């Protein structure tokens, strides 16, 4: 809910932001981690702004009693150790729990280069651009339990709290189901609406391809047969809603001057999506 609201509102270079008012309204069952050196408390600690640190901590203590943890991270990036020592001192002074994390961005350390390429593309830089921000390190992979224990051997309570947090979390993941928005189809079923739109589109396409009616009548049986086969497969697999959703955002893109590239999945070879 909170993440969805943040993305739906829109965001700038800083990324999606969750308002404190939302945290107050929707805090039931939530456990918060501070975000390390990049969180509000972390940035305030590094700037030496004790007043803002106190204000932030007071907010979390009020609304997330026993559910707010100062996050400790060691991935070899600038200011991490300075933040960590300040965070530990703050935890001792205010009685706040600490927890060890690794700000994971990829599974294996060997994935770092691929991750850097993805980030550079997203941010509009080339890899060798000296102005390109270097915000990540090769250490942000999924460390093993043994590695984390060695890394935080000097702060055992930060390791113990990872277990305590895990014990307090409970989630049931429903596998094998698809959760898609319900495409509006009026009084028709999703399957029937897909067939209707596909056949309407086929008529338009055939009229464009074969302006001569006699030739169109001669050629259309192969198109009818292929479309019928594809529609049967789509409906039998339970994907009519998915194809209608794709149809809608592709049409919106075309209407608003957004380039539409070629498909990359099995849909690229289907006749139906050209509708």
Q: What is the pLDDT of residues 137-194, one digit of tens each?
A: 999 999 999 999 999 999 999 999 999 999 999 888 888 887 888 899 999 999 999 9
Looking at residue 272, its pLDDT comes to 53
Mean pLDDT of 256-270: 69
Pick the CATH number of 2-168 from 3.30.360.10, 3.90.550.10, 3.30.565.10, 3.20.20.140: 3.20.20.140
Looking at residue 181, its pLDDT comes to 85
Q: Please give the order of strands across the beta sheet that includes 68-73.
A: 32-33, 68-73, 98-101
Tokens 């200011």 appear where? 79
pLDDT, tens digit (0-9, with 9 covering 90-100), for 55-85: 999 999 999 999 999 999 999 999 999 999 9
Residue of 4, 70, 60, 8 whose CA lies nearest to 37: 70
Q: Between these two residues, 11 and 251, which has the higher pLDDT value?
A: 251
Looking at residue 110, its pLDDT comes to 97
Mean pLDDT of 81-90: 98
Which of helix, strand or coil describes residue 89?
A: helix
- How far apart CA 270 and CA 202 sit, in angstroms, is 13
**What are the two backbone dihedrals, phi and then psi, of residue 15, each rounded to the nearest 5 degrees?**
90, 180
Tokens 């029937």 appear where? 192
Looking at residue 198, its pLDDT comes to 93
Which of helix, strand or coil describes residue 102?
A: coil
Residue ranges of the chain assigned to CATH 3.20.20.140 = 2-168
Helix (H) or strand (E) holding 69: strand 68-73
Tokens 């051997």 appear where? 153
Answer yes or no: is pLDDT of 252 > 50. Answer: yes
Looking at residue 271, its pLDDT comes to 52
Which of helix, strand or coil describes residue 141?
A: coil
Looking at residue 268, its pLDDT comes to 46
Looking at residue 165, its pLDDT comes to 98
Pairing of strands 32-33, 98-101: unpaired
Looking at residue 85, its pLDDT comes to 98
- How far apart CA 256 and CA 192 sit, in angstroms, is 28
């Amino acid at each position: 809910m909170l993440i969805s609201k943040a993305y739906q509102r829109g965001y700038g270079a800083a990324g999606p932001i969750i308002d404190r008012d939302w945290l107050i309204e929707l805090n039931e069952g939530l456990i918060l981690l501070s975000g390390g050196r990049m969180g509000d408390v972390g940035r305030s600690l590094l700037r030496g702004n004790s007043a803002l640190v106190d204000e932030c901590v007071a907010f979390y203590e009020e609304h997330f009693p026993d559910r707010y943890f100062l996050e400790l991270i060691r991935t070899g990036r600038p200011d991490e150790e300075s933040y960590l020592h300040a965070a530990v001192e703050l935890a001792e002074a205010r009685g706040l729990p600490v927890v060890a994390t690794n700000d994971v961005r990829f599974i294996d350390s060997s994935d770092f280069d691929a991750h850097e390429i993805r980030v550079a593309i997203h941010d509009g830089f080339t890899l060798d651009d000296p102005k390109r921000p270097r915000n990540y390190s090769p250490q942000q992979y999924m460390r093993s339990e043994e590695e984390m224990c060695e890394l935080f051997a000097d702060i055992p309570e930060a390791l113990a709290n990872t277990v305590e947090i895990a014990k307090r979390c409970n989630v049931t993941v429903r596998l094998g189901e698809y959760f898609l928005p319900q495409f509006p189809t009026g009084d028709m079923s999703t399957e029937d609406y897909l067939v209707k739109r596909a056949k309407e589109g086929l008529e338009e396409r055939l009229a464009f391809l074969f302006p001569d009616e006699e030739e169109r009548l001669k050629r259309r049986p192969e198109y009818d047969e292929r479309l019928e086969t594809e529609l049967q497969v789509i409906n039998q697999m339970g994907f009519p809603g998915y194809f209608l959703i794709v149809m809608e955002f592709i049409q919106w893109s075309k209407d608003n001057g957004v380039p539409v590239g070629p498909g990359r999945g099995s849909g690229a070879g289907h006749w139906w999506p050209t509708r």
